[in-house]
Structure 1
């Protein structure tokens, strides 16, 4: 627990500092996190031994972020059109490799890779996109989202530990409870209300409640998704980069779901 707390404080402070600074340094950081996340995913899925997939996976992941890291590219195509082209390119490359590998790299493998690239690429991209395009309140808005996610995690743990009796989804995550999940949303609402009292200009309060309910609920789904992936591949953590916390995907599992869903709901 001590290692977890120390890592959380140091890592959190550094991350928030870069988030506040924004710009190119934040773009590079998020791109690096996505690449590390892809590497963890490839190891869990047992596809990292294929040299072509190892190299092409990093390349295909980086394509999601080129308009942000290399600004000139963003002037060539609009973001939506650009990522449509990226997805088509990914499918063509991987399905072509199925043919040239003579089915040593199978359709099933291609599906696993494509799903991972969508999951990691779009999750981190919309996180970065929000910071770079949301305007004057971008830092405060993302800080609020992170606070809701973190308070949801903490609320689920402490409320579940004290009051949890009914399992939420034991086949996926045996320690999570319905009471913990409900308590997590309540803790997130309380924390968001405190945030609103300090930063009242980011949202109207009724908007804050709606956002918090969505973020806390979707964040818990994202956490369960990562648990399902790890259970399927029989691993405890996605990686070992962060002592006491696991890997990048362990720390950003909720975020990878929250930002794309907010985008789909046209809330960012």
Structure 2
């Protein structure tokens, strides 16, 4: 398992960095691929639990949420209304084969993935040096994971959420925050593009790490609900897309609003 995880990281990390550096259409294709596979994993778990996902309305809703930054308000409302009408028609025609909980979970999965990954496009569209900002988002996520593993392995004694994730400890959580703050500080020293106060570094590292850990725990709650260990198997040693990008998706809005409201306005 460890060997597979290392190999996947050695191949995957340079690939991600390369796609981010290319930017443009490659950036959009990459995150759209993540969204499509992630929603597929949720719908597959729904099927295994005996539910019936609404594939077409769900994917349409995910795409609307994902591309919201490219749509004006009127087009977005029209598109959402169209998806809602399609869902109502399907629910009426196929009742009782398709039930309310099928539609509710299908929509929830689409909104969860579409809105959060949509912040990746917002970062690409709204900021100069978007490659550096997105790279920072990944680094903060990875450092939270690494810090949590190292500190939890070495000093972890007090269980944080024994029902959701028995191996996670408060010591590991503190280690994730520490390494994430350290990574934000190193970034602030290495990049010449933005002027940072030390308070900014502390806030960004702390909030990003907390959200990364919440994203991981929330994904664990989803898997617990559906009764599976991993959301998928597309990444050897790591599971599915949701298993690897659950934390990252919740760090995205933190980084976006941090640069939108704090750094750029105070520059």
Structure 2 counterpart of 1:198: 190
Please report the RMSD computed on the Cα atoms of aligned residues, expressed in angstroms.
2.5
Structure 1 counterpart of 2:16: 15
Would the aligned equivalents of 1:140 and 1:202 in 2 still touch at CA under 8 Å? no
Deviation at 1:65, TM superposition (A): 4.2
Output aligned runs, 1:15-164, within 5 Å: 15-46=16-47, 53-65=54-66, 74=70, 77-78=71-72, 81-135=74-128, 137-164=129-156
Q: Which is further off, 6-15 or 83-92? A: 83-92
Paired residue secondary structure (2:166): strand
Structure 1 counterpart of 2:219: 226
Deviation at 1:105, TM superposition (A): 1.1
Paired residue secondary structure (1:102): coil
Would the aligned equivalents of 1:156 and 1:183 in 2 still touch at CA under 8 Å? yes
Q: Does the alignment pair 1:243 with 2:236?
A: yes
Q: Does the alignment pair 1:210 with 2:211?
A: no
Structure 2 unaligned spans of 5+: 263-267
Q: Find the aligned partners of 1:239 and 1:246 in 2 and give their Cα distance.
A: 5
Would the aligned equivalents of 1:48 and 1:54 in 2 still touch at CA under 8 Å? no
What whole-Å deviation, never above 9, does each CA across 1:104-126 have from its counterpart, x for those lacking one? 21111111011101101111111
Paired residue secondary structure (2:121): helix
Normalised to the residue count of structure 2, the TM-score between the two structures is 0.87
Structure 1 unaligned spans of 5+: 69-73
Q: Which is further off, 80-89 or 26-35? A: 80-89
Would the aligned equivalents of 2:231 and 2:242 in 1 still touch at CA under 8 Å? yes
Deviation at 1:91, TM superposition (A): 3.2
Deviation at 1:16, TM superposition (A): 1.0
Deviation at 1:29, TM superposition (A): 1.6
Paired residue secondary structure (1:174): strand
What whole-Å deviation, never above 9, does each CA across 1:79-101 have from its counterpart, x for those lacking one? x5544444444333323321111
Structure 2 counterpart of 1:5: 6
Alpha carbons of structure 1 residues 198 and 81: separation in structure 2 relative to 1, 3 Å: farther
Normalised to the residue count of structure 1, the TM-score between the two structures is 0.87
What whole-Å deviation, never above 9, does each CA across 1:160-187 have from its counterpart, x for those lacking one? 1111111111111111111110111011
Q: Find the aligned partners of 2:95 and 2:62 in 1 and give their Cα distance.
A: 24
Paired residue secondary structure (1:206): helix
Q: Find the aligned partners of 1:4 and 1:184 in 2 and give their Cα distance.
A: 19
